Structure 1
Amino acid sequence: MNKTFTNFKITSFDSNKYDDFFSLIDANRNRLEDFFAGTLSKTKTLEDTANYCKTIEQKVKNKSYFPFTIYDLNSNLLIGLVDVKNIDWSIPKAEIGYFIDINYEGQGVISKSLGLVIDYLLETYKFKKLLCRANSTNLGSINVALKNGFEFEGTIRRDYKTTKGDIVDLNYYGRIF
């Protein structure tokens, strides 16, 4: 996938650009720690990130994980990620996660990017359901999901362990196709 809009590009993850990925994660580490605990634990150093990107590459080949990166075309900086995980090919359905660099928050970039990824997933893989999980305090993430046609399905109690070790409830948002 490779789509451009306004001054941005969303493209399939390139594991050779692990330094860009590390820079994005590291610059946003504090605000992502409760929502991207797994990714943060595997990207503590540049070397960790390079190794993690090799793992990602294998998962993409196995069709068990699809990450997409968002670049600012003016600065050529990696500014966001949309990832597709927990894929169940028997339905097919998957979970979508996303985040944007704090400097780009509230500009609609992640909402537009998510929409483009959804279109790609439907066209390419014919998913029947996509879901997003969000902490009830993460209003930005919830708004992105709602703007892209996801509907609140319920709250799963004690569903996620943060990097601090807290076990929190998560709201589930689904979209059926």
Structure 2
Amino acid sequence: MREQLLLRDLPMEFETPRLACRITRPGDGVHVYEAVKSSLPELRAALAAVPWAADEPSVQSSESFCRTGFAAFHARTDFPFLMFERESQRLVGACGLHRPDWQVPRLEIGYWCRTDSVGKGYVSEAVRGLAQYAREELGAVRLEVIVDAPNARSRRVAEAVRFQLEGTLRSHRRGPDGKLRDLCVYASVEDAA
């Protein structure tokens, strides 16, 4: 399936009522850096899910992330999108489709939101759009959201977009503090034809 996708021109953006979401691209590093820098305490509270937040952010590392994501999109190995408020064009966060298993096909949805934009429904809106993109453009049958059990905000997003909690993986990964973490697996499955 990946080979088929390599030969197709995939849309590099999608819109929702309030957001313009597009893949990362060269030159986006400064915007990502500003959003990450302003949200570092909250991102670091979820280091098990976003281990990259442990490093001190820089424009260079953010630019590297954007360029790597751009290449991964074109290789069809990862699909990172930035979320921009349509009205202001301000970066409010990122979302993406990760760890594809083209045999199913299955993808994992990840997301984070700039601290001053939390609580406005942007992430739920972006995840709905991303799920539609995954189904229509990538032929996804199964979509997953995997979050640390104590991460109530991320769990609420999964529930708001009507993903079903399939189970809790107990002591599934170690957090940066060395303690074992439970993970909640949410999924949305469409019947395969």
Give TM-score, length-normalised by structure 1.
Answer: 0.89
1:130–1:174 contact (8 Å) kept in structure 2: yes
- Structure 1 residue 155: Cα displacement: 1.0
Within 1, Cα distance between the matches of 2:80 and 2:153? 20
- The residue type paired with residue 106 of structure 1 is G
Within 2, Cα distance between the matches of 1:161 and 1:30? 20
Number of residue equivalences: 177
Q: Percent identity?
A: 20
Which range is displaced more, 67-76 or 98-107?
Answer: 67-76
- Structure 1 residue 168: Cα displacement: 1.1
- Structure 1 residue 166: Cα displacement: 3.5
1:37–1:163 contact (8 Å) kept in structure 2: no
Give TM-score, length-normalised by structure 2.
Answer: 0.82
Runs of 5+ consecutive residues of structure 2 not aligned to the other structure: 1-11
| Residues 31 and 160 of structure 1, relative CA distance in 2, 3 Å threshold | farther
C-alpha offsets along residues 119-167 of structure 1, whole Å, 9 cap, x if unaligned? 1111001101010111222111111111212101111122233344433
- 1:135 maps to 2:139: no
Partner of 1:113: 126
- 1:19 maps to 2:30: yes
- Structure 1 residue 70: Cα displacement: 0.9
- The residue type paired with residue 106 of structure 2 is K
Give runs of ≥4 in structure 1 deviating > 6 Å. none
RMSD over aligned Cα, in angstroms?
2.0
- 1:31 maps to 2:64: no
Which range is displaced more, 1-10 or 114-123?
Answer: 1-10
- Structure 1 residue 79: Cα displacement: 0.7
Partner of 1:94: 107
Partner of 2:19: 8
Structure with greater Cα Rg? 2
- The residue type paired with residue 168 of structure 1 is R
